[in-house]
Amino acid sequence: MEEDLRHIDLIDKYLSNALTKSEKEMVEKRIAEDTSFAKELKVYKQIYKGIEQQGDTVLKERLTSYYNSYKEENKSKTNKGYYRRLVVFGSGIAACVLIGLLLFFYYRNDGQNPIFKDVNPIIVDIDTVQSNSKDTIENPIDEERLVQEEKPQQTKTENQVDEELVNQEGLKDKSRDTVQLDNINNDTQLALGGFTPLPPESVRTIEYPLPLRYTFDGDKLTLFGDPLLSKLQLELIKNKEEEYVLFYKNKYFSIDKTAGIKPLEELRTDSSFGNSLLKIKPKLNPSKEKLDIVLEDITRFSGKSKNLKVNYDSESSLGTYFFNETENTLELIINSNLDSEIAKVYEVKEKNRHRYFLVEGTMIYELDVHAKEPKPLEQVEITKNKMARLFMEKASFETTVYTEK
């Protein structure tokens, strides 16, 4: 029997009950008359049955592991919860006492002048992760000066703009007396209230993908801009002039040896190699030469997020999160203790949508920006969530260099 796709399509629809009544009758008539068709159908029936059976078995295995982790989690919740809360609560009280004492000594003289000669008291180091003095409790004069100093500058780097924004917000916040969750400067108060802001440096924005750039030292080609490229998408060619050319998405790009980072430039049509390549794809042979291709981590090119703020509740073990959207800020509340040294929240800006990820070491969670009610933090499955692979270790592989015949 001729194995064409249309006939498989018919069988497929028959087996998945997707035929109309008349089509079904037609197929059944054919089964009765055409023995080779009937035979073929039997084979596919077996194939479908086998796939169902093996799918069932594999899913059951996974379910068993989900069940085990469910049991494990529930055990640890009941056992550890109490002690964990005790420790967290205890350290909260200890922090209160410590900060209270410091404030007492600080304002003891006449309420204004510190008895320490040091203008930058220790509080700053304790309650903010930022090294510059932005603490509102400490001294507002310093802050105003900082802002004024930055304003007259003509050219500002992105970082400076960020800092300025932070400072201006700090000034605004001072006029409000209530404890606000998005108030990133009142760390002390927030820590006592249960919520701690994630340092703004740890809330990052990435655009994905970025235009591809590269650096090449003769042995190793490093590509920047899209760590999710697959090995199959890239082909490295060496032309007769011993120059390297990268074939990617049906286009040829010239690769020069360079110490810096260069944008990937399409091969010019007037180059001798380009001509021959662009008109007819030359016959290529794998050579013995092999080169390493490294897909560089894109998080290196992330910037501080302008509108996203993250607060977490270090005393909570709920493991949930939600977003709170106001006019021009987006606030993320995480009801879980984060390791502020390593935890980062990324906003990945794709062409059509923005996605949010919480990355804590090797744990990656995707966050649903539409979650207005607390939603559990779910670790992503790397095999299913392609974008989450951005936050894994950078990929590198060896590739064969092809030469023109």
Partner 1 sequence: MTDQELIDQLKNGNEGCLQHLYQHLGKVKGWISQNSGNDDDALDVFQEAIIVFYKNVMAGKYELRSKISTYLFEVSKRQWLNQLNRRKKYEKQSDGVVVVDWGQEDDEIEFTYKGPSLKKYLMEALEKLGEPCKSLLETTIFLGMRMEDIAEKFDYSGPRSASQQKLRCLKKLRSGISYEVIIGLK
Q: Which residues bind partner 1 (CB under 8 A)?
A: 3, 5, 8-9, 12, 15-17, 39, 42-57, 59-60, 62-64, 66-67, 69-71, 368, 371, 373, 375-376, 378-381, 384-385
Shortest reach from residue 373's CB to partner 1, in Å = 8
Shortest reach from residue 57's CB to partner 1, in Å = 6
Shortest reach from residue 324's CB to partner 1, in Å = 17
Identify which of residues 244 and 365 has a Cβ nearer to partner 1 in the complex.
365
Phi and psi of 397, rounded to 5°?
Answer: -150, 160
Shortest reach from residue 342's CB to partner 1, in Å = 23
Identify which of residues 52 and 201 has a Cβ nearer to partner 1 in the complex.
52
Identify which of residues 43 and 342 has a Cβ nearer to partner 1 in the complex.
43
- Element spanning 64, H or E: helix 35-107
CB 102 within 8 A of CB 121: yes
Shortest reach from residue 121's CB to partner 1, in Å = 45
Shortest reach from residue 167's CB to partner 1, in Å = 39
Q: What distance in Å separates the CA atoms of residue 21 and residue 299, rounded to the nearest whole number?
A: 55
Shortest reach from residue 73's CB to partner 1, in Å = 8
DSSP 8-class letter at 379: B
Shortest reach from residue 349's CB to partner 1, in Å = 19
Q: What distance in Å separates the CA atoms of residue 218 and residue 273, rounded to the nearest whole number?
A: 20
DSSP 8-class letter at 391: G
Identify which of residues 16 and 20 has a Cβ nearer to partner 1 in the complex.
16
Q: What distance in Å separates the CA atoms of residue 144 and residue 232, rounded to the nearest whole number?
A: 55
Identify which of residues 18 and 161 has a Cβ nearer to partner 1 in the complex.
18
Name the residue with tokens 């509102």.
136
| SS3 call for 276 | helix
Tokens standing for residue 116: 């320490």
β-partners of residue 332 are 310, 323
The full DSSP string for 6-39 is HHHHHHHHHHTT-S-HHHHHHHHHHHHH-HHHHH
Angle at 133 between CA 132 and CA 137, to 5 degrees: 155
| SS3 call for 313 | strand
CB 106 within 8 A of CB 114: yes
Identify which of residues 106 and 365 has a Cβ nearer to partner 1 in the complex.
365
Name the residue with tokens 């992760």.
129
Q: What distance in Å separates the CA atoms of residue 403 and residue 244, rounded to the nearest whole number?
A: 9
Identify which of residues 53 and 275 has a Cβ nearer to partner 1 in the complex.
53
β-partners of residue 290 are 400
- Element spanning 171, H or E: helix 158-175
Helical ranges in 108-157 per DSSP H = 122-127, 140-150
Shortest reach from residue 391's CB to partner 1, in Å = 16
Shortest reach from residue 294's CB to partner 1, in Å = 24
Identify which of residues 3 and 177 has a Cβ nearer to partner 1 in the complex.
3
Identify which of residues 214 and 321 has a Cβ nearer to partner 1 in the complex.
321
Identify which of residues 2 and 270 has a Cβ nearer to partner 1 in the complex.
2
Identify which of residues 63 and 179 has a Cβ nearer to partner 1 in the complex.
63
Shortest reach from residue 276's CB to partner 1, in Å = 32
Tell which residue, 296, 290, 303, has the closest CA to residue 228: 296
Q: What distance in Å separates the CA atoms of residue 147 and residue 136, rounded to the nearest whole number?
A: 14
CB 376 within 8 A of CB 334: no
